């Protein structure tokens, strides 16, 4: 649940009359550049149909544009990027938007073939991708996430980790020695995670992990960004790179117009992950 959703829940949102409800939805959309139907409905204890009806009315008024799973601000109403200042705990990130991340992971896993060398970044989305790849045989995996390395290793996969310093709760290997070691390799594909994406580029919380992301970008034939739609128009302390440093974005919903235009200019392909079978 986002801070905005918690705040709305505390106001007794479901008892608000429609005009006030609409005002709050517009405020959320302009701040976060996306309103997610399922998450908002669950957080606020109202039906998804109620939220969808609200969004339909706001679209008719020309305020929001409905997308798969939610809505984005109309045209030039996109707000300035929201700044995420604190990195949430890994366990919390793993739970948050888990269904969306599993959709993204399934689409990403389809890109992996036998004999590939695959770089897996740290983060919840890439860890969920690793879960989807535990049966992938004859693939060499490279990662700085000890959680991901252990998961793949327990399933008998071939995994490589660099030497270096362990970064706190993220349990990732970082530092110059780690970057230098992976700089020696060439990867067929790298799957990257970020804390946010704007029209200006890709962002993360950690200087150390950002250094390794840049190594992956330099040393990979194909660079694939795994980014759920809640990260659109979010930024943080560290700018990792411009958008043209990745080849493909996989997400659960289309990006808002400002990011979509910037991605097109950077020649980044966009894949919207389909719903999972039985979902």
What would the pLDDT profile of 127-162 be if each residue is shown by its tens digit?
999 999 999 999 999 999 999 999 999 999 999 999
Query: How far, in Å, CA of 266 to CA of 178, rounded?
Result: 29
- Does residue 89 share a domain with residue 75? no
Specify the pLDDT at position 6: 52
| Residue finishing a domain among 29, 46, 79 | 79
pLDDT over 90 (residue 174): yes
% residues pLDDT > 70 (the chain): 89
Asked if residue 15 is part of any domain, the answer here is yes
Domain containing 185 — which CATH number? 3.40.50.1360
Sheet holding 201-204, edge to edge: 196-198, 201-204, 238-241
Round the average pLDDT of the chain to a whole number and report it.
86
Whether the pTM exceeds 0.75: the reply is no
Asked if residue 278 is part of any domain, the answer here is no
- Does residue 215 share a domain with residue 109? yes
- Does residue 69 share a domain with residue 185? no
Lowest-confidence region among 5-9, 104-108, 190-194: 5-9
- Does residue 216 share a domain with residue 246? yes
Asked if residue 202 is part of any domain, the answer here is yes
What would the pLDDT profile of 214-244 be if each residue is shown by its tens digit?
999 999 999 999 999 989 989 888 999 999 9
- Tell me the C-alpha to C-alpha distance, in Å, between residue 272 and each of 61, 208, 255: 27, 30, 9
């Amino acid at each position: 649940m986002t801070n905005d959703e918690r705040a709305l829940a505390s106001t007794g949102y479901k008892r608000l009359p429609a005009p006030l409800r609409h005002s709050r939805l517009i405020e959320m959309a302009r701040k976060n550049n996306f309103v997610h139907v399922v998450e908002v409905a669950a957080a606020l204890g109202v039906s998804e149909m109620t939220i969808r009806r609200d969004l339909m009315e706001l679209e008719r008024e020309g305020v929001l544009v409905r997308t798969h799973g939610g809505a984005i601000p109309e045209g030039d109403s996109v707000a300035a990027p929201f700044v995420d200042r604190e990195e949430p705990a890994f366990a919390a990130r793993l739970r948050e938007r888990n269904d969306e991340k599993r959709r993204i992971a399934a689409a990403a896993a389809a890109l992996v073939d036998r004999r590939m060398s695959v770089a897996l970044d740290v983060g919840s989305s890439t860890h969920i991708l690793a879960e989807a790849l535990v049966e992938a045989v004859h693939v060499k995996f490279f990662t700085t996430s000890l959680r991901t390395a252990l998961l793949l290793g327990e399933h008998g996969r071939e995994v490589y980790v660099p030497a270096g310093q362990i970064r706190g709760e993220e349990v990732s290997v970082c530092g110059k020695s780690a970057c230098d070691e992976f700089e020696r390799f060439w990867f067929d594909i790298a799957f990257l995670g970020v804390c946010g994406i704007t029209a200006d580029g890709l962002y993360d919380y950690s200087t150390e992990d950002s250094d390794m992301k840049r190594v992956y970008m330099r040393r990979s034939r194909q660079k694939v960004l795994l980014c759920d739609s809640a990260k659109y128009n979010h930024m943080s302390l560290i700018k990792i790179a411009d958008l043209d440093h990745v080849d493909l974005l996989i997400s659960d919903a289309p990006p808002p117009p400002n990011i979509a235009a910037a991605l097109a200019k950077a020649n980044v392909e966009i894949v919207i992950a389909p719903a999972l079978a039985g979902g």
